[in-house]
Structure 1
Amino acid sequence: MSSNKVNTNNAPKPMGLYPHARRVGNLLFLSGVGPRAAGSGAEEANIPGLKYDKNGNYEEFDFEAQCRSVFDNVKTILEDAGAKWEDLVDVTTFLTDMKRDFKTYNKVYAEYFKDAQPCRTTVEVNALPSPITIELKCIAVIQEGN
């Protein structure tokens, strides 16, 4: 079975040597996707809803902005790989603060996934590879004709 790597300039740059996604047969596996701005690296200035003061403390923190951005990044990668939002079958979400962010995450998730309802797992992690607070790992099934 052949495997094709998918990379796009329309999503944040991977933070290591890995593709945005990999297609194997009709399955599409997305690498971990965060909320950073399209084309950006790990710089804090490229994280929606996050701004630091000169002492490194949060000056602005908007978790909802990060949720919306990560969902938009996933959608972009899916589309650039020939899939659609509705093709998602499994979503694993990593949050750095379940107590603070889960309610907001659930609210935004319900907006984006109202019709497409993949399986979902949400876990809290101690940290993510940049100062983001959410990351998604997704699997989609690409339908015939896509």
Structure 2
Amino acid sequence: MASNPEHLHSSKAPEPVGLYPHARRVGNLLFLSGVGPREKGTSQIPGVELDEEGNIARYDIAAQCHAVFRNVRYILEDAGSGWANLVDVTVFLTNMKDDFQTYNRIYAEYFKDNQPCRTTVEVNKLPTPIAIELKCIATIGAPEQV
């Protein structure tokens, strides 16, 4: 993570697509910026095929779910937090009708031991050609100490 104690940048998560940090620490709380499924160092998005104009031709929501959860974990760990410290998750899906069942099943696998508050909303579009993005709040320190 970067040396600024408030603005945190992960060494493993994909680079932000704008002028914002991966996360910001305020007291013992960690606020993550929107996290998508892109891979670090590339514009590659797991499970996404684009057409000639750069529009989504096909995508695999399961591959994107696994990738976005991995990226969230990278940011949490680089910030001195962890999966068990998540307290609130907001999920943005671009196709609730087709993707919610798969997303909900995979979410249950990742969150069976820790069940943060959750809100899931459908949005028309996300800034890059992705089908899912997470906005999270976590604590820093052992979950039982906060």
Matches within 5 A, 1:1-146: 4-40=6-42, 43=43, 46-54=44-52, 58=56, 60-143=58-141
Structure-2 change in CA distance of 1:55 and 1:16 (3 Å): closer
Q: Percent identity?
A: 64
Specify every segment of 5 or more residues in structure 1 that has no aligned partner in the other structure, as ranges: none
Runs of 4+ with >2 A deviation: 52-60
What is the deviation of 1:53? Answer: 4.3
Structure 2 length-normalised TM? 0.89
Deviations 1:60-87 (A, max 9, x none): 4211000000000000000000001000
Task: For 2:85 and 2:19, locate their aligned partners in 1 and report how far apart those are by CA, in whole Å.
Answer: 26
Equivalences, count:
140
Task: For 2:56 and 2:18, locate their aligned partners in 1 and report how far apart those are by CA, in whole Å.
Answer: 26
Q: Give yes or no for contact 2:80–2:141 (8 Å, CA) kept in 1.
A: no
Structure 1 length-normalised TM? 0.89
Task: For 1:133 and 1:119, locate their aligned partners in 2 and report how far apart those are by CA, in whole Å.
Answer: 21
Q: Secondary structure at the match of 1:122?
A: strand
Task: For 1:57 and 1:136, locate their aligned partners in 2 and report how far apart those are by CA, in whole Å.
Answer: 21
Specify every segment of 5 or more residues in structure 2 that has no aligned partner in the other structure, as ranges: none
Q: Which amino acid aligns with 1:27?
A: L
Q: Give yes or no for contact 2:8–2:21 (8 Å, CA) kept in 1.
A: yes
What is the deviation of 1:8? Answer: 1.6
